[in-house]
Chain A
């Protein structure tokens, strides 16, 4: 079965712009989590969606938002981009929203803000 698909794979934006990233989870998976990965900060949790509802949220400013659609696909939006938002954004899908469930990661979207 197909894995987690993230689009686009690479993105270059300028400061002040906004960006939308997409994640299609594994078929049947209803939980989607988003992470920001930077060399200095490791994997930082952004938020988790399950059945179109945000279940958990990390410590990121309100410029970072997300949503999940009825087919479990999820989007993440970052508004008013800053240079520090340059990172690899990973999404992970799980069958259910539980902390003891294996997470399957997508290849990520590498965002560069210039």
Chain B
């Protein structure tokens, strides 16, 4: 079946360093969503990418959708302690299909 994998599983960085998580699907995605889950919290929607090669920015966060629509990345510039949490990518097989979540990347930060 369709799988959505994320790497790395864990990332521990010094505050101020950059962070990137990568999402790869075994099949083409009609769109990709990114969610953030703070420790002890629930996933919260960050953004959705739809177009091939699309790039979107939210302050220090940059999201990319691959040309083949099978991979995506989230890059955080100059991490802050508020960035701590697990970042999930999620995508459906088609616009009418259930959403499959990636395995998540847990980000921890040394102050």
Q: How far is the CA of A19 from the CA of B103 in the complex (A)?
A: 27
Instruction: Tell me the minimal C-beta distance from A89 to chain B in angstroms.
Output: 11
Q: Does B95 contact A (CB under 8 A)?
A: yes
Name which residue of chain A comes closest to B42, CB basis: A105
Q: How far is the CA of A48 from the CA of B100 in the complex (A)?
A: 12
Residues of A within 8 A of B33 (CB): 102-103
Binds A, one of B20-28, B55-63, B65-73, B86-94: B86-94
Kindly name the residue among B33, B43, B99 whose own CB sees the greatest number of chain A CB atoms within 10 A. Answer: B99
Instruction: Tell me the minimal C-beta distance from A66 to chain B in angstroms.
Output: 13
Q: How far is the CA of A42 from the CA of B33 in the complex (A)?
A: 16
Q: Does B104 contact A (CB under 8 A)?
A: yes
Contact among A42, A99, A105 for B96, CB-based, below 8 A: A99
Of residues 6 to 60 in A, which have CB atoms within 8 Å of B's CB atoms? 33, 35, 42-43, 45, 48, 55-56, 58-59
Residues of B within 8 A of A97 (CB): 96
Q: Number of B residues whose C-beta is below 8 Å from A? A: 28
Asked if B44 and A100 sit within 8 Å, CB to CB, the answer is: no
Name which residue of chain A comes closest to B9, CB basis: A42
Q: Does A1 contact B (CB under 8 A)?
A: no
* A interface, CB within 8 angstroms of B: 33, 35, 42-43, 45, 48, 55-56, 58-59, 90, 92, 97-100, 102-108
* B interface, CB within 8 angstroms of A: 1, 30-31, 33, 35, 41-45, 48, 50, 88, 90-104
| Known contacts A56-B97, A103-B33, A105-B43, then 4 further A-B pairs from the complex at CB < 8 Å, ordered by chain A residue | A43-B104, A99-B94, A99-B99, A100-B30
6 A–B contacts from the bound complex (CB under 8 Å) = A48-B98, A90-B42, A100-B50, A100-B92, A102-B45, A106-B42
